Chains A and B, each alone.
Chain A
């Protein structure tokens, strides 16, 4: 990133290759929309280029990129005047399985869809925190800096988010299939 800041723009390609996958995962888990998520990843890298002079080599680059990602997400929701949309469980179904044990795979796909639905039903702030802690594997210290709260508060919120997610998930499991 220091090279990019110094004007070697082509070096941004390396950063893209290293970070676009996890970043895309963050947006998909958070917004529940694959196409929008690709646009948001693009927007983050556009902002990296635009604001590269403001980068300070004090923390990890990943912390900075998630700081930009959070801003981009907030702008997106504000611009569209919507809360994060509830994901369509169908969107997350695996590709129809032609392999042996297809019935087991179908059960697993249902389970996955239910978990995505539970994630989508979770409070947006809780979902954002959970995605950063559980999917992006950010350290509690990094999350604490991002949210400007204590590490203890991060742990409490992550724990609460997991409990709420579990409750929603089991509630969805008990409901009869449509």
Chain B
């Protein structure tokens, strides 16, 4: 071994921690190396001096102060409220029950979570009470009724002329094409353009024999803002001879909120029906 290795092992040599072979190697090296002999002697001397230092003792003040502090803490602990005592007991109970090591705590938490999910999935199937079920059904109905409106709103992304072209394109369709009829009714009910609504109504004439078309036009009439379209709608209903429109036409003919021309048209239609 070289001098550095020998000197690094001096502490263990001093404490008797080296193996017999290592001890012999250090001893042999010390016999021949003056530098290491000096180093070893210096280390031994200072260690011996440190070992011989007299022990230091604290004054009685330390003990007095410590026991005074302990007594104060003890008094505070004894005078705790029952609530605090209960909490302390609970803390102790859980600290004795639960694992102290964080890894085990984590494992226990995972296990509890898993068990909770399992039990929940197995036993907790909340039965929908009638009131909730009715509300859900009502909501479902509203959502369903919104679908055509949303669909039509998407169609509104086109310009008015594009929408007119779409309406005209349906003129050549077969009466059985329900999708096209549905689009026309949506245009009649929701399109912001008077021209598009008028064109849609015109395109619906070939389908006037369908009760659904007639009732949709009847339903759209009170919501229609334009007197021109209202008059055309009334003409449509008169032409289709739909008795179901009677009450609506009657209401229009009496209501002062409608334009005079509209009321006159409604009266004419009633006469025809």
A165-B92 contact in complex given A20-B58, A24-B62, A158-B11, C-beta closer than 8 Å: no
Which residues in chain A, 1-46, are within 8 Å of chain B measured between CB atoms?
6-7, 9-10, 12-13, 16, 20-21, 24-25, 28-29, 34, 37-38, 41-42, 45-46
Contact check, A16 vs B74: say whether CB atoms are below 8 A apart: no
Chain A residues, Cβ within 8 Å of B12 = 155
> Once the chains are docked, how many angstroms separate the CA of A36 from the CA of B59?
12
Contact check, B43 vs A163: say whether CB atoms are below 8 A apart: yes
Most buried by A among B45, B56, B61: B56
Chain B residues, Cβ within 8 Å of A49 = 69-70, 73
Q: Which residue of A lies closest to B62 (CB)?
A: A38
Contact code string A151-164 (vs B, CB < 8 Å = 1, else 0): 00001101100110
Contact check, A25 vs B56: say whether CB atoms are below 8 A apart: yes
Chain A residues, Cβ within 8 Å of B49 = 111, 115, 169
User: How many residues of chain B are within 8 Å of chain A by beta carbon?
Assistant: 35
Classify chain A: how many residues form its interface, as a range. 35 or more
A162-B46 contact in complex given A7-B92, A25-B56, C-beta closer than 8 Å: yes
> Once the chains are docked, how many angstroms separate the CA of A169 from the CA of B45?
11
28 contacting pairs across A/B (C-beta < 8 A): A6-B92, A9-B70, A9-B73, A9-B77, A13-B70, A16-B66, A20-B63, A20-B66, A21-B57, A24-B56, A24-B57, A37-B58, A38-B59, A38-B62, A42-B69, A45-B66, A49-B73, A94-B54, A159-B11, A159-B43, A162-B43, A162-B46, A163-B43, A165-B46, A165-B50, A166-B43, A169-B46, A169-B49
State the B residues within 8 Å of A (CB): 7-8, 10-12, 39, 42-43, 45-47, 49-51, 53-59, 61-63, 65-67, 69-70, 73-74, 77, 88, 92, 100
20 A-B pairs besides A10-B70, A12-B70 with CB distance below 8 A are A7-B77, A16-B66, A20-B63, A34-B58, A37-B58, A38-B58, A45-B66, A45-B69, A111-B49, A115-B49, A130-B50, A134-B50, A135-B53, A155-B11, A156-B8, A158-B11, A159-B10, A162-B43, A162-B47, A169-B49
State the A residues within 8 Å of B (CB): 6-7, 9-10, 12-13, 16, 20-21, 24-25, 28-29, 34, 37-38, 41-42, 45-46, 49, 56-57, 94, 111-112, 115-116, 130, 134-135, 155-156, 158-159, 162-163, 165-166, 169
